[in-house]
Structure 1
Amino acid sequence: MGMSGAYGPSDEREAMATLERALELGHNFIDTADYYNVGHNELLIGRAIQGKRDKAFLSVKTGQLVTAGPNGGMAPGPVHTHPDYLRHAVFYSLRRLGTDYIDLYTPARVDPDIPIEETIGALADLVQKGVIRYIGLSEASAESIRKAAAVHPVTALQIEYSLWSRDIEAEVLPTIRALGIGLVAYAPLSRGFLSGEFQKPEDIKDSRVNMPRFQGENFYRNLELVNKVKAMAGEKGCTPAQLAIAWVLAQGEDVITIPGSKRIGHLEENIAAAQVQLSGADLASIVAIMPAGVVSGTRYPERFLGALNR
């Protein structure tokens, strides 16, 4: 997403080099969406995997329409996962990606106007045709997940999960584990905040200025938490970003995470998080300084919250 202008200007040459480096390092899970800059991201990835399709596991989200954002960018619009829409959208994605199949295909949100059973039924047809290999869900409630899995096996749930976003632990995480569904945790760094790079609200120059956790008093209260993470990372000999990612990975063998790396330096730093070993005592210390619910502010602006946990 970041490679297509989601968080300020992007450098296409650096983005291509980063994707190529990821594949070189054995990082094969590449996540995109057909609405990331109106297909630009899929075209970019298509070029990066040309001749290397077997090295990439392509995860594509769909069904999220976009509108003009408040700062000149794009903002989420209505959700649309009518079966007819999905049957057409997947072929546009295949064309842009330059492939004849998608590994994991995921409705970006649960459509309030279409029964989840109909959405999954359409995707099951695409699996039968060999167009997609696996079905995913994103930001779905436990109830919707159970309904979907009753129609066709669901392989993965993509949802925000980090030290600062742990709502799923109450009901969603136990549900997917009971059903054998893997977790794809996005925003493990809470959109960069947990990396420790921001010191004041004025450091934010992109769409994150609209997110409550980056605003006013919330920012400074959250910065105090980040400074505690920094201190512990120093003791562990890693960066704050690596500590935050390592914590997510330590939550189970069924968890993978997709930090939004758009530069080689960040990619290599984030991948190295897999080498950070956290003991039981380490995990207890992290939770002690960062208990569930401690973050100030919601993860999205109010107008977007209704599309979550649906």
Structure 2
Amino acid sequence: MEVKEKALFIRVDRIGDLVLTLPVDDIAVLRQRYAVTWWISKGLEFVLKNGTQKRHFATIDKDFTWSQFLALYYYLKRENFALVVIFHAPWWISLLIFLARIPIRVGRHSQWHSYLFFNRGYRQSRSRSKLHESEYNFKLIEKFLGEQVRERPLLELRNESADKVISKLGLEKKLYFVVHPGMAGSARNVSANFYVDLLKQLSQQHPVVITGTKSDHEYIAPIFSTLKDHPNLLWQNEKLSNDELISVLQNSKAVIAPSTGVIHLAASTGTKSIGLYSPVTTQHATRWGPRGKFTYVFAPKVECPGTKDCLYQACDKFDCMEQIKVSDVMAIIQLKTI
């Protein structure tokens, strides 16, 4: 039996970024040649643990400390990796793999230090957002391999305790919806009134679970104040563990969310996932849309002058997010396939 070389893949980033990167290790030619270990951000262990493909990984803190730096350095020397691919990480990790003398160091040439630390560096103009984030990741692998790869595998997430979780919540499989109104604030969102109207209409058909974390409070608070006594709404924001969240997403009839990690998690469970996206170049679904078997995206149909951020009142198309209509979302939900 041929012994595979060890490879280290690094994505120290947020949920959505990680979800859109992990499938690169499922490319057949890569699996045949390398045994891959991942370094990911602390707190995102649940993503890999709930994957149908079991992955070897370690978590790291993106903030520099000498204790962590030295521990990782000795780990690299001990493991004897033949290859490291950095998809996204703080600069000191690039320095770390350079000092550890990993033979092949792959990454994007962007900031000055990348030209020094990577001996297989490649230019990618990701800020122009011409391609999907996952496609940029696949192309980084293609350039390293020196060949085009036709495969574009998907990440698949499943929680084995999902049935128990939804039963505990009093829900039935595929007979409820999930709405996740919050986001990190890195992109535009639809209004609170949109979510109020959406929740009212959805709850006429099935129970609706509202999810979110503490960071989503500013989005959920005005919705809750309006609908706190509305029937058929199950307010699970700040109540679910990460594993429970996966369980609730995978058993739902459909998930509706803006551009945030939850829409990517939902798509990876195979659930019908409907994303609400901004037209701003770096926020658009062209770059950040969910990847899964049943996904659909709504975004304003405008030529947006914003490249990194919305121009708000300075734009003659503001507020174009109002083009996204609840009636259109409801129509997509009724479709058996997308």
The verdict on a shared fold, with TM-score over 0.5 as the criterion, is: no
Answer with 1 or 2: which has the greater Rg.
2
Q: Calculate the TM-score normalised by the size of structure 1.
A: 0.32
User: Which one has a larger percent helix, Structure 1 or Structure 2?
Assistant: 1
Q: Calculate the TM-score normalised by the size of structure 2.
A: 0.30
